[in-house]
Structure 1
Amino acid sequence: MNKVTNINLERIVDSLYHLCKPSLINLFRSSVLKAGLLKEIEEITDPNAIYPFIPLMFAKNRMVSKLANEKVHALLHQVPLHLLSKIDEKIRNSTFSKHYNQLSEYWYNLKPSIVDSYRGHSTEFVVILKSLCCHPNGYIRYKAIKTLAENSIEEAIPFLIIRANDWVEEIRILCFTTLNRLVSKELIDHFIESLPLLKQLEIKTRKEHLLDRLELIRKIESLLATQCSDALFKKINSQEIIIARYAFAILAKADSKIEQLLTVTLNNRDIVIKVNAFNLAHNQYDSDQFLIYLNKIKDDKLMPIRKKALYAFIERYPNQAKGILEQALFDRSRSIRHLSRYYLKQLGISEFSNYYRDAINRQDKPIKLAILGLSESGNKDDFRSIQPLISKNISQLNAAIINAAFKMQPKGWKSMITDLLSNPDQASLKSFANCLLEYQDSYTFEEILELVYKRNSLMHIRYFIRLLSNGYYDRWMVLNVILGELTLITDPNIKVLFEQYLHTWIHHNCPNKIFIRPCHENSNTCLDKASNLLKHNPTNSLYKELLENIKCFIN
């Protein structure tokens, strides 16, 4: 909630409610709200604050009801349409807290005849009718949705779609009848903004009128594809995933739009849309067209698409497959590099080191990927091709060289890694941490402490904590180091990281885990350090819990 807490909201609503209460005091009160209260109401932008304002729209105090109406209108405008059905459900099922018991009477005691008071096209009436479409009383919902459709078709369509799944049959029939009447070339553009609601209606599980519901949805989709295709193409790039995917699905059913659709989605960022586009091309294109399409997506940013393209080349175009597989040896995805080597072996090629060594020497391929490929397929002797690159001290290359040194383990590989980590960047540290988690026996805890830990470097400590959290090291030795460092560090951000680790350490160190009991020397050392920390931070509950945990193991 923006700038307004729940406590402030209760106070604001309470102030408005007391203005509405019939009393002699209110007769003499000023009818003008304080500027501070108006400013606080204006600052409320969270849609979750809408519920206590809805009953106030029906208060007899005209100033309060108008103010509540404006607030409900503004907050409803903030609600994305795919969340409107949840807002509707919460309004219908909302149970007001004790604080709002009397306030709720404005809402729950309404009669169906109240709807007759709001026939007109004013914004105020439309907002009230929208709210009444979500009323728990079925008679009120029926009259409200009918009146809203008569007053404003555009505003009514989202609520007609929601109420088409109402549990009251008369309301469902009314909504289906009205929607069927509205589905025409002249009015179909009003449905374009309600795509998420249409999708939600399609997957609803209510069995009544199921065939009618699906028939109506298909009718709307068909008209949208033919009459509003430009708008649908824009929706494919929507930030709302449900809208983008549904727009694609509608256009995919229109044969005349497939070529344009597959072109538009080439650079789409959503993996589901990209996979569906690939499947559409696979099913609709002839052999020549599909080959052109594959050449466009074989270097796609998304790994699953590159992999599907590679499989398609292997299965459908064996003559071109060898060249594509050789290119895939340098793919940035390790799984695709492995896949390409596997299928090249089926073609009789078993030596891959030459590909990577030549690429490193000629530098006609990304050198980082050539290093990674060589580390996966070569041996320690092949590391000679990589060694001259160490002196270049290039960030991304250093990360790949560390990876290669771990896997190939040439003579003196640990000293090479030590040199590369003497003044590392994030990429090098990340590469070292990933490799160490894969080859945990390569380094002892003392070696890691010397290589990775730097007391005043937040970056180093993040990776150090990551290694401690995911590795298998003597937990009491680790605790001893952490407690010692907590007495020395001054950076609050680093202290938070260590305390988060301590919290995890405590919950993983249960007294019934006999196998992790410390030796006498370690236990006393940790106990002394924890006691010292608690002495300097007597109110810290984490240190108290840690001290009790250590004592459990000693005793």
Structure 2
Amino acid sequence: MNYIAIVYQAFATDDTEIISLSSKAINKTLCHMSSIQIIKLDEQFRRYTSLEWYIDWELISLEDLKSNIRNQEEYLNVIRLGTFHPNGFLREKCLMELSEDPEALPYLLLRLNDWVQPIRDRICGIIKKSICNSSIHNVIAALPFLEKAKKGERRNLDVFMQIEYMIVQKIKGQISDLKIYEIYKYDFHVRKYLYCLLLNEKIVSKEQAEQLLQREKNSSNCKTIIISAILDDYICDLNEIDVYLQNKSAVVRRKALDRKYAILKKNWAGIEKLLLDNSKGFRETVCYIIKKHTDIDIINYYIEHLETEYTRVAILGIGENGNKENVKDIISYLQSYNEKEVRDTLKSLGSCLGTDGESIYWKYIMDPRISVAKSAYNAIRSNEIRYGSKQIYERFLNCEYEFTKRYLVNLLLNESSWSRLPYLLQLYNYEDISLQDKIRKKATQRSCYSKLSEIEAEKLRKIMNDSTLRIPAKLISDIELDLKYVTVDNIINDQQNIKLAKRSDDIDWNKQYEFVEHIGIKSYEQIHFEECKYIWKNWVPKQGQADYLQGELLRQAEKLRNEAMDNGNINWDDNFDWFCDFLKYTLVDSDIFGQEKIEKLK
């Protein structure tokens, strides 16, 4: 989807041919997008336009744009997409332009969670007008967008409730005009939210709900929503509930179980048979009821069913409810010819043994059966077991199965940064592209709190100087710089390294500022664009504060730039004041500027 943001830059030019081609491309793309794809586009669009510092979007004229895009549908889709733009002035212009567009409701609803307060305030009236002027079909098509806005943290609750009430009333008032078969014309995501609204608001009767269930042929998810709503919101007798207890959907069975228990408020005859259900969540609820109201020995019940048709469920049940003492009852199933039984046994052993089963997991991660190796891998990850970078790498070299290599590489990535680095460098050009990206990213993530012996540092340098590995010179340079600050004379083992890495109070800030000086962030002018791009890509997270000082400085500077250039500082508050203070005091106290520049900073 990132190319759409790139194409959108065409509307900041005077080239009518490029504008025409770009509008056609955007129109074609949006017309074939589902509701969920459009929502995802809204989340991602501004990430690819936030670095367009050279364009002043406030100066873009929609009248000129309209004259250059002669097709009305193409123009409207360009404007609809403009409501996703990071520039607040442009978004506001586009929203006002769409106030008369009967199909713009989905895009308007997303702006209830806009990050600019005046836009959130203004959009309310536009949305209310749009709801009144929209057909029931357009309102229904906007339901996924309403749900998205509902989950937002910025939207005003009172305003949202007013809009939600208007939509519900609109559908209630015109539902008689909507034929049942017409519902299936909407895509899956729209139907899903429509069913929730119709049933939770009891707009349809129980009989109509069952009719919807009968007609819903394609989506088990939609069927689950309908049945769950019937159980939650309509009166059902115990016979109906027992029928739903046999449903294929684990969600429906769970709902039926909860409903039956809510009615009876106690156990019932034969409840222990439900312990053999395939769903873990279902079994957990049954266990809760049995433990509360009966003296049935759950572990013994599962042991009794090990040599029956329910062997796999019994193995899993012992793992969910047992401990180390029950390992003897299931460990023999590791020798089973049934792959699924071996897989489930490893899963249960992971629960019962925890880290004590590390040798078992290490053995079976090399199993030629994919599901068995994956179960062993999951047991290792869930118990946070580390085998050491060297041991993992040596096993990787002797591994013949690609799926096992993937598990081993992922385990290697989870080791401490400096212990894994020599082996990541040897895997730097690994043929699996998805793993290669992870390896290269982890190779750039090195703890500045760890310590490395001279011997370990020399081994690392030897690997870096191996021309056959084709390690980038920039990465080698960065690692060499880091080695100056983490290398010590004495030998420090991995366990000490891990402890040091967790001691954030040991940060040597002077060394951090030497890093800053090294990449050149010393001038007000844009003279290190590539370095800043690198920091932005690697050290600035998508959400929250950065882990590295350089990343945090750039993140805060970009926040201030974005607010000034895109929003005219209209959202200025104490957070932005804090950013300014942080930048000022951090740079002043860094000892990398002369007195003249320090005075300018102050």
TM range, smaller chain: 0.5 to 0.7
- 1:249 is displaced (CA, Å) by 0.7
Task: Name the structure 2 match of 1:259.
Answer: 210
Retained in 2: the 8 A contact 1:160–1:179? yes
Q: Deviations over 1:275-330 (max 9, x none)?
A: 68525523312324652464244x5244xx54443333333246774534432345
Retained in 2: the 8 A contact 1:198–1:217? no
Task: Name the structure 2 match of 1:300.
Answer: 249
Letter in 1 for 2:444: H
Task: Answer yes or no: is 1:372 the counterpart of 2:313.
Answer: no
Q: Which runs of 5+ in 1 are unaligned?
A: 6-45, 150-155, 512-516
Distance 1:485 1:125 in 2: 54
Change (3 A) 1:172 1:108: same
Which residue among 345, 348, 362 is the counterpart of 1:401?
345
Which residue among 462, 468, 481 is the counterpart of 1:532?
462
Q: Deviations over 1:148-177 (max 9, x none)?
A: x7xxxxxx4214787899989999989977
Retained in 1: the 8 A contact 2:361–2:379? no
Task: Answer yes or no: is 1:250 the counterpart of 2:192.
Answer: no
SS in 1 for 2:462: helix
Task: Answer yes or no: is 1:227 the counterpart of 2:177.
Answer: yes
Change (3 A) 1:287 1:370: same
Distance 2:255 2:196 in 1: 20
Task: Name the structure 2 match of 1:314.
Answer: 261
Distance 1:484 1:199 in 2: 46
Retained in 1: the 8 A contact 2:320–2:351? yes
Task: Answer yes or no: is 1:158 the counterpart of 2:107.
Answer: no
User: Between Structure 1 and Structure 2, whose CA radius of gyration is higher?
Assistant: 1
Letter in 2 for 1:360: L
Distance 1:407 1:105 in 2: 60
SS in 1 for 2:102: helix
SS in 2 for 1:52: helix
Change (3 A) 1:229 1:383: same
Distance 1:276 1:500 in 2: 44
Task: Name the structure 2 match of 1:357.
Answer: 303
- 1:529 is displaced (CA, Å) by 1.3
SS in 2 for 1:249: helix
Letter in 1 for 2:404: H
Distance 2:64 2:284 in 1: 69
SS in 2 for 1:254: coil
Once the two structures are overlaid, the 10-residue window that deviates more, 374-383 or 394-403, is: 374-383
- 1:221 is displaced (CA, Å) by 0.6
Task: Answer yes or no: is 1:77 the counterpart of 2:31.
Answer: yes
Task: Name the structure 2 match of 1:423.
Answer: 367
Letter in 2 for 1:546: I
Which residue among 43, 49, 55 is the counterpart of 2:7?
49
SS in 1 for 2:297: coil
Which residue among 445, 455, 459 is the counterpart of 2:403?
459
Distance 1:162 1:375 in 2: 48
Distance 2:188 2:179 in 1: 18
- Within 5 Å, give how 1:122-161 maps onto structure 2: 124=71, 127=74, 156-159=101-104
Q: Deviations over 1:255-291 (max 9, x none)?
A: 33333345567985659x9568525523312324652
Change (3 A) 1:239 1:255: closer
Distance 2:95 2:334 in 1: 76
Task: Name the structure 2 match of 1:328.
Answer: 275
SS in 2 for 1:255: coil
Retained in 1: the 8 A contact 2:199–2:209? yes
Retained in 2: the 8 A contact 1:386–1:401? yes
- 1:105 is displaced (CA, Å) by 7.1
Distance 2:7 2:77 in 1: 17
Distance 1:418 1:486 in 2: 24
Retained in 1: the 8 A contact 2:324–2:352? yes
- 1:544 is displaced (CA, Å) by 3.6
Retained in 1: the 8 A contact 2:103–2:138? no
Which residue among 436, 444, 451 is the counterpart of 1:503?
444
Distance 2:194 2:392 in 1: 52
Greater relative contact order (Cα < 8 A, sep 6+) = 2
Which residue among 167, 178, 181 is the counterpart of 1:217?
167
Which residue among 536, 539, 542 is the counterpart of 2:475?
542
Retained in 1: the 8 A contact 2:358–2:380? no
Change (3 A) 1:371 1:193: closer
> How many residues are matched?
456
- Within 5 Å, give how 1:37-116 maps onto structure 2: 46=4, 49-50=7-8, 52-53=10-11, 73-74=27-28, 77-78=31-32, 83=38, 107=62
SS in 1 for 2:307: helix
Distance 1:459 1:354 in 2: 37
Change (3 A) 1:358 1:264: farther
Task: Answer yes or no: is 1:432 the counterpart of 2:376.
Answer: yes
Change (3 A) 1:52 1:390: closer
Which residue among 268, 278, 286 is the counterpart of 2:228?
278
Task: Name the structure 2 match of 1:291.
Answer: 241
- 1:377 is displaced (CA, Å) by 4.4
Normalising by structure 2, what TM-score?
Answer: 0.56
Retained in 2: the 8 A contact 1:353–1:377? yes
Letter in 2 for 1:541: K
Q: Which runs of 5+ in 2 are unaligned?
A: 84-88, 113-117, 490-602
Percent identity of the aligned residues? 14
Q: Deviations over 1:374-428 (max 9, x none)?
A: 344457676565455444343322222334455666xx98887676455343333
- Within 5 Å, give how 1:508-519 maps onto structure 2: 509-510=448-449, 517=451
- 1:234 is displaced (CA, Å) by 1.9
Task: Name the structure 2 match of 1:11.
Answer: none
- 1:532 is displaced (CA, Å) by 0.6
Letter in 1 for 2:458: D
Change (3 A) 1:351 1:530: same
- 1:431 is displaced (CA, Å) by 2.5
Change (3 A) 1:510 1:492: farther
Change (3 A) 1:65 1:329: closer
Retained in 2: the 8 A contact 1:371–1:386? yes
- 1:254 is displaced (CA, Å) by 2.0
Retained in 1: the 8 A contact 2:278–2:313? yes
Normalising by structure 1, what TM-score?
Answer: 0.60
